[in-house]
Structures are given as structure tokens and as C-alpha cells.
Chains A and B, each alone.
Chain A
Amino acid sequence: MIWNNWTDFWAMGGYGLYVWGSFGVTAGLMALEIFWLKRARQLALTQVSSALAVAETQEKDWRA
């Protein structure tokens, strides 16, 4: 451990804004991408379900 206390850690020797601005945006964008992906999976599943539902009704029409 190289820091005397947490204040020193967050201050980063005066470079706090630059260091945390870098780490923060990196972490934020990575988290955002994971969130987008999870949402995209739900959307994909919904798209599949509706395609299946359409296929089913068409089949019924054809039988009738």
C-alpha cells in the first residue's frame, strides 16, 4: 500500500481530475455497453417471439 490515507488516494498527487476522469469514463462506458447488450438480448427475444407468432397465424390461415 503506497497511500497514507484515502484523501491522498483520491487526490492522485494533484492529477485526480485526469486520472479519475479516465478511469471513470472507461468504467462507465464498459458498464453502459453491458446494459445495452442485455437490453438488446431482450429486444432480440421479443423479435423472435413476434416472428414466431406471425408464422403461427399464417399457418392457421393456410389451414383454414
Chain B
Amino acid sequence: MMQKLFHYASPQNFYPLAGKLWPVFAALATALTVWGLWLGLFVAPADFQQGEGYRIIFVHVPASWMSMVIYLAMAFWALLGLTFNTRLSGMMTRALAPTGAIFAFLSLWTGALWGKPMWGAWWVWDARLTSELILFFLYLGYIALTSAIDDSRRSDKAGGILALVGALNVPVIYFSVKWWNTLHQGASVSMTQGSSMAKTMLEAMLIMGVAFWMHAIAIALYRVRNIILVRERHAQWVADLPEVKAHALKEPS
């Protein structure tokens, strides 16, 4: 098992594995999205308080979850990279960041569109919203920092430290609705108390959550392949790849 893990820690071995895996996750994401949207938009009943407006939850909650999960995944890869000095870790951290930034933005965007009709405000400076905004800026900061440093090892290291330190913000976002008096409602799904939602609504939300998760994995695997190609462009195994040969024939440079 460990040996297998170390085997795939090398970009050369991970590249074909990621190539095989991403279509599986993309197919799962598509199927689950269709199912989740069907349940959420055509089966789940209207909410007794918020009418049809609550349906924003089916994109808002999954996007918000993913914005936090992806940051934790980045911190995990960063820790691995800083401890074991493996090259793939930095590439994985980097492959996750743009997707995390998009989900953080979507969390804020859909939140604003939900807040306006329900609270009467697009934005309030409450703890949940503010800490999510900080998360969005952490993603942007990570992307800016890593792309400003040319040397990939140093850039991975600097980015890794930012990813690790910034991870402290994730539990703050999650528990903000408990720790402070926020306008944002409490957790819809709690590990200790179960859920406060109707069964179909909860099902649709969880299915969309898993769908977004699969989407993020597919995207990160696809992106890490791009990063591996560019970083390993001088390696013989890259030159031997069939897609590289085909591309060179198509566009002789």
C-alpha cells in the first residue's frame, strides 16, 4: 500500500493515473448533478417560510462546502510537500487553488442572491460572510504568490506555507455561526443533531454536494496533468507521450 502511494507520488506515474481517473469523476459529477437538480428543482416541495427562493441552497451549500474542503485539501498537500519534499504535492496544491477560488466566489455570489430577498441585503459584515470573503482572498493570494515566483520549488514552498497558515480560517468559517451572533443561519446539517430540513430537500442538497465534490476532483486531476506537462517538459518520458508526439506533428514549432 505504502509502496503504491510512493509509486504514484512521482509525476511520471501520476500523470497516466490522473488521465485514467478524471473521466470517471467527471462522469460521476454529471450523473449526480442531473439527479440532484431533478430532485432539487422538480421533486422537492417549496419551503414553508422561504417559498421557492430557498432552492438557492442546492448550489449555495455545496459551493460553500467545496470552498472549505478544497482549502483543507490544499493544506493537506502543502503539509505533505513541506514535510516530505515531494514534487507532486506542490503541483496538487496548485491544481486545486483556482477551483477553490471559483467555489468561494460562487458561495459569496449565491449567498448575496439569497440574502437580498430573505434578509433585504446583498451583503452584511457578519462573521460567516466575512470569514468566507477572507477565504476567497486567501485563494487569490495563494494564486498571486505562486505565480509571482518563477522557481517552482520555492514557489511551492511559499505557497505551501500560505495554504497551511490560511487553513486556520476554515474552522473559523465553519463555527462562525456558533461562536458569534450572525445573521447567517446555523448549520443545516449537523453531525450531532442531524438535519433540520425536509428529507427530499436534504437528499437533493447532499447529492449536489457529492456532485460538486466529484467535479472538483475531476478538474484538479485534469489541471495537475497540465502542470506536470509544463514542469516536466524537458523529461524524456514527456517527449515519449503519444499526445505530445501527435501535438508536435499537428503544430510543428
Q: Main SS of the interface on chain A?
A: helix
Q: Are A19 and B99 in contact (CB under 8 A)?
A: no
CB distance from B22 to the nearest CB of A (A): 10
* Residues in B whose Cβ lies below 8 Å from that of A29: 102, 105-106
Q: Say yes or no: B223 contacts A15, CB within 8 Å.
A: no
| Count of A-B contacts judged by CB separation below 8 Å | 110
Interface size of B in residues (CB-CB distance below 8 Å): 45
Residues on A with beta carbons closer than 8 Å to the beta carbon of B85: none
Question: A1-B42, A13-B53, A26-B63 in contact; A48/B229 too (CB < 8 A)?
Answer: yes
If over half of B's interface residues share one DSSP class (helix, strand or loop), that class is named, otherwise mixed; here it is helix
Looking at A13, A18, A42, the one whose CB has the most chain B CB atoms below 10 A away is A18
Tell me whether B55 and A34 are in contact (CB under 8 A): no
Q: Which chain A residues numbered 1 to 41 have a C-beta less than 8 Å away from chain B?
A: 1-3, 9, 12-15, 17-19, 21-23, 25-26, 29-30, 33-34, 37, 40-41
**Set of chain B residues within 8 Å of A1, measured between Cβ atoms:** 42-43
Cβ contact within 8 Å between A44 and B248: no
A50 to B113, CA, bound (A): 46
Query: Are B53 and A12 closer than 8 Å at their CB atoms?
Result: yes
CA distance A2 to B223 in the complex (A): 40
A50 to B110, CA, bound (A): 42
* Smallest CB gap from A54: residue in B: B253
A2–B226 touching, CB < 8 Å: no
Partner of A21 from the list B113, B222, B253 (CB cut-off 8 Å) is: B113
* A12 in contact with B52 given A22-B109, A26-B63, A48-B247 (CB within 8 Å): yes
- For chain A, the count of residues having a C-beta within 8 Å of the partner chain is 35
Cβ–Cβ contact A19 & B52, under 8 A: yes
- With A49-B244, A49-B251, A53-B253 given, name 14 new contacts (CB 8 A): A2-B43, A3-B42, A14-B53, A17-B113, A18-B113, A22-B59, A22-B109, A25-B110, A26-B106, A37-B219, A44-B226, A44-B230, A50-B253, A55-B234
